[in-house]
Amino acid sequence: MEECILCGGNSERDNDFVTCETCGKYFKNSDANASLEKLAPYKRINLIQQIIAFNAERITPTYVPGTAYKLHYDRSIHPDTLFYIGLDSPRINQPILHSEKPLALLRMFCEKMKDQGPFDVLKRTNREFYSVAIDPEKEANEWLMLLIERGWLAGEYKKGATDFVFGDITISALGWEVYEREFGSIQSRDVFIAMDFNLPDRQNIQEAIKRACAANKFEAQTIDEHQSTGSIPDEMLAKIHHSRFMVAEFTNQNRGVYFEAGYAMGRKIPVIWTVKKEEMANIHFDINHFNHITWGTLAELEEKLKNRIAAVILA
């Protein structure tokens, strides 16, 4: 065991591949060590949050000097999918919006408790705080106090010798109400399919996506399958809002799919990205770094999507 260069926790290293108990798995180019040691605090938190998010998608981020930002699939280097990220890239230098942290923290707690009693005691870890860009040592207690004062969490705390001491903390009834209003039902089994309706093989692609979702006990629909007497755009946004996740199929590069996926991301709804293999090169650069499921046959699409849902949504 050795100290993680990012969080200071316990980690193991295999050459330049690091597995940290808190951050997760990442690769650091030997030339990047000096830069990692000098990272500003907000950049360090950005980095740890990024590693956690990438690992959830089964991607190992690889940190190098410069501004690189690209996927790398060379399995001869390592069996995982690698993502090269320069330590001067905009994704690391972006500011952290502190105003978003209360809702992000509440959401993380609610989704953690989805398979437990709604008022069971919350057990908190440093990794969970980092996943929402909160430094567990320097700021976590302040945000916990804020959520208690707002009534989103229930619990007591008092001033200790050097810091605040918390008793048992639970999500309150108001906290669940806020979460479900902002992010949809935590028990939702609905999935929104965004795709080009003019695809020649649209029906078969759609059915393959539905079967993959059904195998994980989700029900997937496109907006034209939803019976409505209201405005289609309003109904579409409402359906996305109340879905557990979205499958965005980018074959044919439909602009509406880009819009719908962007809306889902803005609402913090998970998006699973899919596209035919021969069209991956055409994906817009704004999203080509996401871990797309590339497929050649409908059977391949169904199998890969079924496995991705199990690994990312149900994990």
Euclidean distance between the first and the last CA atom of the chain, given in angstroms as a whole number: 27
Residue 281 C-alpha from the chain's centroid:
23
Query: Cβ neighbours of residue 163 under 8 Å, at least 6 residues apart?
Result: 141
At residue 229 the predicted structure's pLDDT band, cuts being 50, 70 and 90, is low
List pLDDT tens digits, range 160-200.
777 778 899 999 999 999 998 888 766 789 999 999 999 99
- Do residues 75 and 145 share a domain? no
Q: Which long-range contacts (CB under 8 A, 24 or more apart) does 143-152 make?
A: 143/101, 143/102, 143/105, 144/105, 144/169, 146/102, 147/102, 147/105, 147/106, 147/175, 150/102, 151/175, 152/102, 152/106, 152/178
- Work out how many domains the chain is built from and give that number: 3
Domain interval for residue 107: 98-183
Task: Reply yes or no on whether the pLDDT at 75 is more than 50.
Answer: no
* Same domain for 200 and 306: yes
The kind and range of the H/E element at 212 are: helix 202-215
Q: For 60-64, 96-100, 254-258, 264-268, which range has the lowest pLDDT when averaged over its residues?
A: 60-64
Q: What is the pLDDT of residue 158?
A: 85
Q: How confident is the model at residue 227 (pLDDT cuts 50, 70, 90)?
A: low
Same domain, yes or no: 307 and 195? yes
| Helix, coil or strand: residue 241 | helix
Q: Which of 58-67, 123-132, 209-218, 259-268 is predicted least confidently? A: 58-67
DSSP-based three-state secondary structure for 26: strand
pLDDT higher than threshold 70 for residue 81: no
Which of 183, 198, 232 is where one domain is finished?
A: 183
For residues 251 and 295, membership in a common domain is answered with: yes
Per-residue buried b or exposed e for 232-254, using 16+ beta carbons within 10 Å of the residue's own CB: eeeebbebbbebbbbbbbbbbeb
Q: State whether 146 and 198 are in the same domain.
A: no
Task: Name the residue with tokens 């069209």.
Answer: 279
Of 256 and 229, more confident = 256
280 shares its domain with 307: yes
Where among 76, 93, 110 does a domain terminate?
A: 93
Model pLDDT for residues 283-315, shown as the tens digit of each residue: 888 887 788 999 999 999 999 999 999 988 887
